[in-house]
Amino acid sequence: MLDPQLLRKDLSSVVSALARRGVTFDTARFEALEARRKAVQVETENLQARRNAVSKLIGQLKSRGEDASKEMAESQAIPDKLKELEHALSGIQAELNGWLMTIPNLPHPSVPEGASSDDNVEVRRWIPGESDANGNPAPLAFEPLDHVTLAERFGLDFESARKLAGSRFMMLRGHAARLHRAMAQFMLDLQTETHGYTECYTPYIVNSSTLYGTGQLPKFKEDMFWVTKGGHDHSVDEHGNPIEHEDLYLISTSEITLAGSMRDTITPVADLPIKLTAHTPCFRSEAGSGGRDVRGVIRQHQFDKVELVQITHPDESYAALDDMVQHAESVLQKLKVPYRVMLLCDGDMGFGAAKTYDIEVWLPAQNTWREISSVSNCEAFQARRLQARYRPEKGKPEYLHTLNGSGLAVGRALVAVVENYQQEDGSVIVPDVLRPYMGGLERL
């Protein structure tokens, strides 16, 4: 959520920054809410001052033996008026917060301007073998097959998944399932043993408060899978009153649970940074994405991902962002899969991001680069929603910065390995770093 204090102090800069993202900020609405808020606060302060003055006057009248009934009646009415003003102020604040929940983060000044992925800027590329005249990996010596044709030979099964759940699900059997597991285990071991992340096991179902905190709600509600319970829940509290339950959702990324675990916390500054990772399934209904990547593993309703999250001091978050990009890159370097790093323009960034790098792998069958990881600094945007703060050595608690990134999407990594390691006979060489996880198997 945007900082209300920044809106009050420098509204014009916020409006300009949001315009870069194609968002028109309703300044008239904000100024109207601010005017109402100030009016209520002024009335509250005046009434509090009056209460003090009346209380003092009552004491003076009584000390002189004079009638104070009128003043006492006024004093007794003030608390009710103050409660009314408090309620009014809460309503204004709720309206402002609810509105700000729908406004995206401000882009960092270093983010390039642009409207779409066409305006993203390539930072670097890494190609372990030879390159062609365009700087892309040299073509294979034979006509490449796509990952579906290749992996169906050793266990990729869409037909069974379609019977079980419908389109955009997959079932893996045998070597395909083991390769998928090997990918995830390799990524977790690399991130925990080499880069210092703490492995976590998290819930796959979360309440709506968590999703509001991390920024998926309210904007992306239609892209989430909602969870309902069977039967009727008649839970009551200790007083016998019915308990109102929040809506529940399947997670679309473990960023939600890892960053969400910081909700309503104050962390000692000495404990920063906090580095967390988790391997979880992710569930996305992908509302409105029909027609894109409908063949194969690239875009599924259920997929696995090893997520990286860092919780940092604000002064350290951009150094952490650079580190996290390198942590994701290291997976592909050890797999020896070609990739490039792209700095996203402001029009192509995610809702909560202030700055984002995408990592794209080379897919020979498509003869193009495809995104496999997105690493973002959200600055205090999530932390403000989550009320996640740190306690400096001196002074009041301040908001943390949160960062998240894929390290990596497991299914897409499988696609990249299968296509880049394919042989002319349709077999697939197992990368060296995965063989210990595959029982020494060298070829699929």
* Binding site residue list for L-serine: 253-255, 307, 406
Report the distance separating Cα 246 and Cα 209, nearest Å.
Answer: 8
Dihedral sign for Cα 99, 211, 261, 185, please. negative
If 0-12 CB within 10 Å is exposed, 13-18 middle and 19+ buried, where does residue 99 land? Answer: middle
| 76 Cβ neighbours under 8 A, 6+ residues apart | none
Question: Residue 347 is inside which H or E element, if any?
Answer: none
CA distance 59 to 72: 10
Rg (CA), the chain: 28
The terminus-to-terminus CA distance of the chain in angstroms comes to: 48
Q: What is the DSSP letter of 3?
A: -
- Residue numbers belonging to the annotated binding site: 253-255, 284-286, 307, 371-374, 406
**Which two structure tokens, joined as six digits, stand for 347?**
């029009």
Tokens linked to 345? 């323009």
Q: Give 83: exposed, middle or buried? Use CB within 10 Å, 0-12, 13-18, 19+.
A: exposed
Q: Where are the alpha helices (DSSP H) in 285-355?
A: 317-335
Q: Residues within the annotated binding site for ATP?
A: 284-286, 371-374
